[in-house]
Amino acid sequence: MKLYTLTLNEARNLLQKKEITSTELTRAVLDRIRETDDGIGAYLTVTEEKALKAAEKADLRIAAGTAAPLTGIPLAVKDVLCTRGIRTTCGSKILENFIPPYNAMVIERILEEDGVILGKTNMDEFAMGSSNEHSAFKLCRNPWDRTRIPGGSSGGSAAAVAADMCIGALGTDTGGSIRQPASHCGVVGLKPTYGRVSRYGLVAFASSLDQIGPLAKSVPDAALLMNLIAGHDPRDSTSVPEPVPDYSGFLEEGLQGLRVGIPREYFEIQGLDPDVEKAVRGAIETIEKLGAVQVPVSLPNTKYVVAVYYVIAPCEASSNLARYDGVRYGFRNDSGAGLLPMYCSTRSKGFGPEVQRRIIIGTYSLSAGYYDAYYGKASQVRTLIREDFNNALKGCDAILAPVAPSPAFPIGEKTDDPLNMYLSDIFTLSANLAGIPGISVPCGFSGEGLPIGLQILGRHFDEGILLKIAYNYEKATDYSLKKPEISPGK
């Protein structure tokens, strides 16, 4: 048995039975990274020495009989989460050598349970992108086809899970950045309700949209990771003091009595790939056979989602990224010509073109005379989008839809066409604008053998229902069991 192929729950059971050690498991995954990642680029930083020390500590805890659910499990974390003593770059040159003095809340939770952090995964710079082509350091490739994108911005985490270079991973989702790469890489990705997981220690892109969530090999693994990271944190003013259920307890068989909404507008989008529509409709039929009832629903403001998101997110990014000025920390480019030239030079050379584009859009939208016309109007339409979901979910328990309009597209296909790139998020953006949870679960393959995901959306704090539907669907199919064929090396 190759230990790196284990799911999180499988690894946990073997560790608890003392049939394997965390040190053995961690070494196997580190060897897998060493053999495979040169050709994929999923990691920006691998912390081998720290990981092996953490594994040794975990083994002592397991031997003492005091192990927690995630004790000894090797995990990857997106490089937008602060890790004390470990470089945190956000995929940007401006933070190339930044080492945080503190841990994000989710990192604290991993360490409290003596989980093993393998390293930091590749990402679009400051989480701004849909393809992982905007990393300042290296390209990340899709394990199913290395000429294709893995999705973004959590493409590194999704690729690491798909290629068995970790047992599970954490990513962040601002407009689909967990669900879309999960779909493209054939893994499970869950975006929790806004406020369900603390954003303390998450380097901000768009503060009203960002949310941390798990990427995993199976739905039960995603549930276990949610048990770890969910909960109130007084250090995050947007963290909601809502009771946290045992998400694993929702993984029961049968969907009898559940009503699933099918949004008409999502299947009328121009450019929806026939393979995607076929796979998603097939998944809907399977879920109906498992006992659920289809209900037609309408989300009439779907046509405004991309425009609204690409005003609100850049406005918040413009504000959040103002702190990177070359004065306090991070990259500085100083010619000695004065403060203002140093600001300009630092930000021009430290930020990549996509980040600069969004800062410019956001700053313009927030400028005097334009605030009401752009940001104010977008905020009003955002409220309408939220009301669309509230109304639709009154008549059903969850909504089923595609994750992305197409399977993973070729590297370089959309980098010169930002609008076309932005449209690839059309099915995922609305969940962030509305603050609702969403999950992607593998539901088929394209004619070229590329994974396709089914998106399940639900009411605020209804992650358990989404996990239940996804679990029943996963058990009824074998798509989550399929693995990409990966040869070592480049």
Active centre residues (catalytic): 78, 153, 177
Q: Report d(CA 437, CA 287) in Å as an integer.
A: 19
- Report whether 131 contacts 165 (CB < 8 A): no
Number of Cβ within 10 Å of residue 181's Cβ equals 38
Contact call for residues 256 and 219 (beta carbons, < 8 A)? no
* Residue among 136, 120, 118, 173 at smallest CA distance from 151: 173
Distance CA 276, CA 183 (A): 11
Helix ranges (H only) for 3-73 are 8-16, 22-36, 48-63
Type of residue at 291 = G
Cis omega (within 30 of 0) on the bond before 153?
A: yes
Helix 48-63 / helix 22-36 crossing angle, nearest 10 deg: 160
Longest CA–CA separation in the chain, Å? 70
DSSP character for 188?
Answer: E
CB 205 within 8 A of CB 317: yes
Adjacent-strand bridge partners of 127: none
Number of helices followed by number of strands (H, E) in the chain: 15, 11
Q: Which of 115, 117, 111 is nearest to 88 (CA)?
A: 117
CA angle 471, 472, 477 (to 5 degrees): 95
Q: Which residue has the tokens 């899970």?
A: 161
Q: Write the single-letter amino acid at 259.
A: R
Question: Residue 303: phi, psi to the nearest 5?
Answer: -65, -15
